[in-house]
C-alpha cells in the first residue's frame, strides 16, 4: 500500500520541554513514530529540520514572547491540523498562574529591573496557544501521558478524530479503588481536573494538584463550598486552583465569584 505519509512537525514554545521529551521517552514507540509519519521538523530530536507545509503540527509550550506570537501564527498558517500538547500549550502552564491579574508588569520589573530592553525578543504574559490561534485538538497533561498521546496520534494519522477524556481524575481514582483524600480532609483537586494521568498522585497518597488542567464540566462552586466546609480558607482554595489554572481557570472563577456576590 503506497499511501503517502503525513507530514508532521513537533514544536516547542515556553515550558519545560516535557511533552516533547515524553515522545522521546517512548522508547517502544519512537522508531514507529518516525516511521509511520514523515517527521519534517522536531528540533529537540534531530537536526535536518524543514519548516514547510504540514498535515499536523504538535505544539508544546505557552506563548511568552512577542516573536512566539508570530511564530505560532506562522505554524497555524502552514498546518492543516494543530494539536496543543501539554499543560502549557493547552492552559498556559504554571507560568500563567497570575496571567491577567494585573501584576505582570510589577513582577517583570521586580525581576528585570526598570529599563531593561532585550535585544533578542520581548517577553509577554504567558498564555495558552489558543489565545492566538485556532486549535483543533488538545492533549492535556504535565507532561502528557504516553497512552493518551499515542492513542490520539494514531487516530490523527489515520484521519479520524482523537477522543478526549470526558471525566475528571476522580473517575480514574475510583477505578483504582483508592481511598478518597477529600474524605480525609486533604485538599485534592481530583473533582475539577481532567483525567488522563491515571490518578497517579492519589494512588501515592498525595492530593491531585490539577496538572491535567481544568475539567470542562467541573463544578467549581460546589468544590469551593466543599473545601470551605472542610475548613480551608477561601484564599488557600483559590491559590491551589490557580497553580495549574491559567487564564481559563481565572475566567471560570470570575463567573463563579461574581454569581456568588450577586446572590450574597
Partner 1 sequence: MDKKIKIDALARVEGHGGITVEIKDNKVENVRVEIYEGPRLIETLVIGKTPEEDLNIVPRICAICTISHRYAAIRGLEKALGIDPPEKVKLLRELMHLGEMLESHSLHVFVLALPDFLGYSSVIAMIDKYKDDVVKALQLKKYANKIMRVVSGRMIHGENPIVGGFGRFPTKEELLEIKEEAKKMLPIAERGVEIMASLDYPDYAEANTVFMCLNPPNGEFGFVGDSLLFSTGEEYDVEKYKEAFSERVVSYSFAKRSRYKGQPFSVGALARINNIGDRLKGKAGAYYRKYHDDKWLVNPIYNNLAQAIEMVYCLEEIPKLIDKIVKMPDCEIVKPERLTGTGTGSVEAPRGTLLHHYEIKDYKITKSDIITPTAMNLDDIERYIRIAAEKLVERKEIESMNLQLEMIARAYDPCISCSAHLVKVIRK
Asked if 49 and 41 count as a contact pair (C-beta separation under 8 A), the reply is yes
Our finding on whether 249 is near partner 1 (CB under 8 A) is no
Find the binder of partner 1 among 36, 37, 81, 108 (CB under 8 A). Answer: 108
Contact pattern from residue 45 through residue 64 relative to partner 1, giving x for each residue in contact according to CB under 8 A and a dash for the rest: xxxxx-----------xxxx
Q: Is the CB of 80 or the CB of 107 nearer to partner 1?
A: 107
Q: Give SS3 for 143.
A: coil
Q: Is the CB of 38 or the CB of 136 nearer to partner 1?
A: 38
Spacing of C-alpha 210 from chain mean position:
10
Our finding on whether 70 is near partner 1 (CB under 8 A) is no
Find the binder of partner 1 among 105, 111, 158, 262 (CB under 8 A). Answer: 111
| Cα–Cα dist 164/264, whole Å | 37
Find the binder of partner 1 among 24, 36, 81, 180 (CB under 8 A). Answer: 24
Find the binder of partner 1 among 37, 38, 65, 157 (CB under 8 A). Answer: 65
Considering the complex, what minimum distance in angstroms separates the CB of residue 19 from partner 1? 8
Of residues 81, 63, 68, the one with CA closest to residue 9: 81
Our finding on whether 93 is near partner 1 (CB under 8 A) is yes
Stretch that binds partner 1, among 103-111, 152-160, 162-170, 212-220 (CB under 8 A): 103-111
The phi-psi region of residue 31 (left if phi > 0; otherwise alpha if psi is between -120 and 50; otherwise beta) is alpha
| Cα–Cα dist 136/162, whole Å | 10
Q: Which residue has the cell 517502544?
A: 28
Torsions phi, psi of 131, nearest 5? -75, -15
Of residues 31, 90, 29, 27, the one with CA closest to residue 58: 90
Our finding on whether 215 is near partner 1 (CB under 8 A) is no
Our finding on whether 200 is near partner 1 (CB under 8 A) is yes
Our finding on whether 30 is near partner 1 (CB under 8 A) is yes
Contacts of 245 (CB under 8 A, 6+ apart): 91, 97, 210, 214, 253
- Residues of this chain that interact with partner 1 (CB under 8 A) are 12-19, 21-22, 24-25, 27-28, 30-31, 34, 43-49, 61-65, 67-68, 93-95, 97-98, 107-108, 110-121, 123, 126, 142-143, 197, 200-201, 203-206, 209, 211, 239-240, 243-244
Amino acid at each position: 500500500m503506497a499511501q503517502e505519509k503525513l507530514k508532521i512537525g513537533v514544536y516547542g514554545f515556553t515550558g519545560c520541554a516535557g511533552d516533547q521529551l515524553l515522545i522521546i521517552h517512548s522508547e517502544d514507540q519512537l522508531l514507529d513514530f518516525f516511521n509511520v509519519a514523515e517527521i519534517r521538523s522536531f528540533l529537540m530530536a534531530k537536526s535536518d529540520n524543514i519548516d514547510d507545509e504540514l498535515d499536523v503540527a504538535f505544539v508544546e509550550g505557552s506563548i511568552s514572547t512577542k516573536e512566539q506570537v508570530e511564530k505560532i501564527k506562522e505554524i497555524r498558517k502552514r498546518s492543516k491540523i494543530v494539536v496543543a500538547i501539554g499543560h502549557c500549550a493547552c492552559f498556559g502552564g504554571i507560568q500563567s498562574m497570575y496571567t491577567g491579574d494585573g501584576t505582570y508588569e510589577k513582577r517583570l520589573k521586580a525581576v528585570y529591573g526598570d529599563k531593561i530592553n532585550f535585544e533578542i525578543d520581548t517577553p509577554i504574559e504567558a498564555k495558552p496557544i489558543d489565545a492566538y490561534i485556532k486549535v483543533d485538538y488538545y492533549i492535556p497533561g504535565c507532561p502528557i501521558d504516553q497512552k493518551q498521546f499515542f492513542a490520539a496520534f494514531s487516530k490523527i494519522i489515520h484521519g479520524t478524530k482523537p477522543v478526549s477524556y470526558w471525566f475528571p481524575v476522580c473517575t480514574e481514582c475510583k477505578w483504582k479503588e483508592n481511598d478518597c483524600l477529600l474524605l480525609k480532609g486533604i485538599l485534592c483537586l481530583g473533582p475539577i481536573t481532567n483525567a488522563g494521568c491515571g490518578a497517579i498522585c492519589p494512588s501515592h497518597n498525595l492530593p491531585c494538584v490539577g496538572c491535567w488542567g481544568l475539567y470542562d464540566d467541573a463544578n467549581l462552586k460546589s468544590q469551593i463550598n466543599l473545601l470551605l466546609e472542610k475548613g480551608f480558607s477561601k484564599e488557600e482554595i483559590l491559590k491551589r486552583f490557580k497553580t495549574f489554572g491559567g487564564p481559563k481557570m481565572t475566567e471560570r472563577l470570575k463567573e463563579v465569584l461574581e454569581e456568588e456576590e450577586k446572590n450574597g
